[in-house]
Amino acid sequence: MQCFSTNDSIAAMQKSLDALWLRQQVISDNIANQDTPGYKSKTVSFEELLLKTLSSPGESPFEERVLALKPKVKQDNSLSMGEDDNSVDADAENIALVRTQLQYQAMAQALSGEISRMSYVLNGGK
């Protein structure tokens, strides 16, 4: 079991925010291309990478390892929804968009909470 410092959790939240932002961009791209023939939808994988970093102890500090994580953009070549060989599922993209939005809001709030706790301590509990 690892012990997390404030820096560690801020690093993890910062990286998650970046990954969620990237996911939101990729979803926007999928929606913009929902009528483009031959376009294949893209997804961002990040949570698995973060979980791997969380569960496996490494040599370098956790903060460094988290900040070195790179979210991956994957292209889905298997599916084709229509005749035009486009694989964008508009409903799925909309749901993913809303989920990403809420996750981002939750993460931003958690980060704000962490910062306000820190400033509470720095101000001597006042």
| Interacting residues toward other proteins by CB under 8 A | 17-18, 20-22, 24-29, 31-37, 39, 42, 44, 70, 72-73, 90, 93-94, 97-98, 100-101, 104-105, 108, 111-112, 115-116
Q: How far is the CB of 24 from other proteins (least distance, A)?
A: 6
Q: How far is the CB of 43 from other proteins (least distance, A)?
A: 11
* Rounded distance between C-alpha atoms, residue 7 and residue 38, angstroms: 44
Q: How far is the CB of 1 from other proteins (least distance, A)?
A: 29
Q: How far is the CB of 58 from other proteins (least distance, A)?
A: 22
Q: Residue 9 or residue 34: which is nearer to other proteins going by CB?
A: 34
* Rounded distance between C-alpha atoms, residue 36 and residue 30, angstroms: 10
Q: With contact defined as beta carbons under 8 Å apart, do 61 and 6 qualify?
A: no
Q: With contact defined as beta carbons under 8 Å apart, do 25 and 31 qualify?
A: no
Q: Residue 52 or residue 99: which is nearer to other proteins going by CB?
A: 99
Structure tokens at 3: 């012990």
Alpha helices per DSSP H over the chain: 6-32, 47-55, 62-67, 90-122
Q: Residue 29 or residue 76: which is nearer to other proteins going by CB?
A: 29
